[in-house]
Amino acid sequence: MKQLIDLLEAQHSLTKEEWHRLLTHWDEETAEYAAQKARAVSQKRFGKNVYIRGLIEFTNICKNDCYYCGLRASNQKCHRYRLTPDDILECCKIGYALGFRTFVLQGGEDPGFSDEVLCSLVKTIKKQHPDCAVTLSVGERPRAVYESFKQAGADRYLLRHETADDDHYQMLHPENLSPTVRKQCLYDLKDLGFQVGTGFLVGSPFQKTEHLVADLLFIQEFKPQMIGIGPFIPHEDTPFSNEPAGSLNLTLFLISLLRLMHPDALIPATTAIGTLQEGGREEAILRGANVVMPNLSPADYRKDYSLYNNKLSDGAEAAESRQALDARLKTIGYQTVTDRGDYQKR
Ligand code: 5AD
């Protein structure tokens, strides 16, 4: 298996057969070998710097009904909220003072938060903080709407493909959601000049090795600037409440592989990783991740943005405790930086 890791490091890609062999035959030693290489690649590009993004979860209202997600439309137990533009601007102001230079506006697909309001909000943020990047993560929209977001000044867009296999996609989503549309959104966003992030769930229900192979091949081909992956974690008020969580070790191994595939990519140590295991995010950084996205939403709302059970929202996860985050990163010899942290191709 080490030869395959060497090959991936040298040419940044593997064939479908090679990916399949690697994902069916890897063991702890393979993962450790990949981790060392990925860490070296990461440190060569980024040193021991970790980029931070202030995550503002501005609405948990969603018209979609994804089977895995706690914010799905049919979840009657979810206590819904929507921040006002002024609330969001206040979050940015607080975040700016804490050293955040990227604001990520993430929300459900909320028809009550209009595209026009979102555009005017983006313009205002860019005007108030011209040295900051704005990332949007508001799901699937027509190309023309993405274009208006870009014109308003949005720099980046996050939209995970969730699973690259069409049949598997249909097992995780209701019929009205289409894997083709989702991928088209990603190509539209890239074409419009956004820095684009995508990613997938690790260990989602019905996931087979061939699906992960498809995910890796998709990312290999699409070349996103940002890649976010995390373990599936069940949410009690969804149809997948009794399904087991995804594997942390597999997630960490995949992060190393993604780093070797795309040395320049921005790869977050995601909240789901930190939720599944204390110290998980530090582990992800040591295995190739270089971004963390602390929560900048008003504290009172955080518990309601419940994508999955026990989602972390305080401690080093909270933006206001950047010091706590720095202290944790210091234990592994890393530090956060006050920087937009744009994608740069070397
Ligand atoms: N477990 C882990 N991640 C989840 N997400 C949604 N539901 C879950 C869950 N149960 C992820 C999706 C989505 C992102 C915002 O949160 O991948 O793209």
Phi and psi (nearest 5°) for 226?
-130, 145
Residue with the nearest Cα to atom 11 of ligand 1? 307
The best mutation among 56, 58, 69, 160 to test binding of ligand 1, ranked by most ligand atoms within 8 Å of the C-beta, falls on 69
Pick the residue whose CA is nearest to atom 6 on ligand 1: 69
- What is the rounded CA–CA span in Å between residue 47 and residue 310? 32
User: What pLDDT score does 125 carry?
Assistant: 98
Checking if the pLDDT of 320 tops 80, the result is no
- Going from the Cα of 202 to the center of ligand 1, the distance in angstroms, rounded, reads 10
> Which ligand 1 atom lies nearest to the CA of residue 231?
2
Q: Which atom of ligand 1 is nearest to the CA of 69?
A: 7
H helix intervals, 26-131? 28-46, 85-97, 115-128
Ligand 1 atom closest to Cα of residue 106:
15
Q: Examine the pLDDT at 151 and tell me if it is beyond 70.
A: yes
Going from the Cα of 22 to the center of ligand 1, the distance in angstroms, rounded, reads 26
For 40-84, write each residue's pLDDT tens digit. 999 999 999 999 999 999 999 999 999 999 999 999 999 999 999
Residue type, 107: G
Q: Is the pLDDT of residue 328 over 90?
A: yes
The CA distance from 324 to 282, in Å, is 13
Distance CA 326, CA 315 (A): 11
What pLDDT score does 244 carry?
98
What pLDDT, on a 0 to 100 scale, did the predictor assign at position 316?
Answer: 65
Q: Is the pTM of this model over 0.85?
A: yes
Instruction: Indicate the average pLDDT of the chain.
Output: 96
The residues, ordered by sequence, that sit 6+ positions from 156 with a Cβ below 8 Å of its Cβ are 102, 133, 134, 135, 136, 194, 195, 196, 197, 225, 226
Nearest atom (ligand 1) to Cα of 160: 18
Give the mean pLDDT of 97-107.
97
Report d(CA 160, CA 157) in Å as an integer: 10
Which residues approach ligand 1 with their CB closer than 6 A?
Answer: 68-69, 160, 162, 201, 230, 232-233, 235, 272, 307-308
Across 87-100, average pLDDT: 96
Instruction: Give the pLDDT confidence of 264-285 residue by residue, as tens digits.
Output: 999 999 999 999 999 999 999 9
Q: How far does CA 219 lie from the centroid of its chain? A: 13
The answer, yes or no, to whether residue 36 has pLDDT greater than 90, is: yes
Which of 57-71, 154-168, 246-260, 296-310 bottoms out in mean pLDDT, i.e. has the lowest? 296-310
User: Residue 315 pLDDT more than 70?
Assistant: no
Q: What is the DSSP string of 219-244?
A: HHHH--SEE--EE----TTSTTTTSP
Helix or strand run (H / E) with residue 80 = none
321 — pLDDT class (breaks 50, 70, 90)? confident
How does DSSP assign 279-292, residue by residue?
Answer: THHHHHHHTT--EE
pLDDT score at 314: 67
pLDDT score, position 71 = 98
- Name which of 149-153, 154-158, 216-220, 311-315 the model is least confident about: 311-315
Model confidence at 257: pLDDT above 70: yes
Tell me what pLDDT residue 218 has.
Answer: 98
Q: In this predicted structure, what is the pLDDT of residue 299?
A: 87
User: Rounded to whole angstroms, how far apart are CA atoms 172 and 187?
Assistant: 22
